[in-house]
């Protein structure tokens, strides 16, 4: 299950684990113009863990989810889009 909220400066996606037990903490994704942050509370350290991705890293991650094992580089096509 997930939610999507559009804030003033970001789109916030919250992923809730409704799968098999044990359940994981919610994952919060903040999409800004210049970066995307992924946050999750870690009960072992009682702190929020955060990673920051560039827009290019997010693009590569999205592409990688549907590709087989290997090494890839996305290149602009004739229209300027990346393929």
Q: Under DSSP, is residue 83 helix (H, G, I), strand (E, B) or coil?
A: coil
Which helix H or strand E contains 61, and what residues bound it? helix 55-64
pLDDT at position 9 is 94
Residues with Cβ < 8 Å from 77, sequence gap 6 or more? 83
Q: Which residue has the higher pLDDT, 82 or 4?
A: 4
Mean pLDDT of 58-83: 80
pLDDT at position 8 is 93
13-57 pLDDT, tens digit per residue, is 999 999 888 899 999 999 999 999 999 999 999 999 999 999 999
70: left (phi over 0), alpha (psi -120 to 50) or beta: left
pLDDT at position 76 is 73
pLDDT at position 82 is 53
| Measured distance CA(20)–CA(56) in Å, rounded | 33
């Amino acid at each position: 299950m997930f939610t999507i909220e559009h804030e003033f400066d970001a789109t916030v996606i919250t992923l809730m684990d409704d799968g098999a037990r044990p359940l994981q903490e919610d994952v919060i994704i903040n999409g800004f113009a210049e970066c995307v942050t992924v946050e999750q509370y870690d009960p072992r350290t009682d702190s929020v863990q955060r990673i920051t991705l560039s827009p290019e890293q997010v693009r590569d991650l999205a592409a990688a989810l549907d590709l087989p094992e290997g090494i890839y580089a996305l290149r602009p096509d004739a229209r300027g889009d990346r393929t």
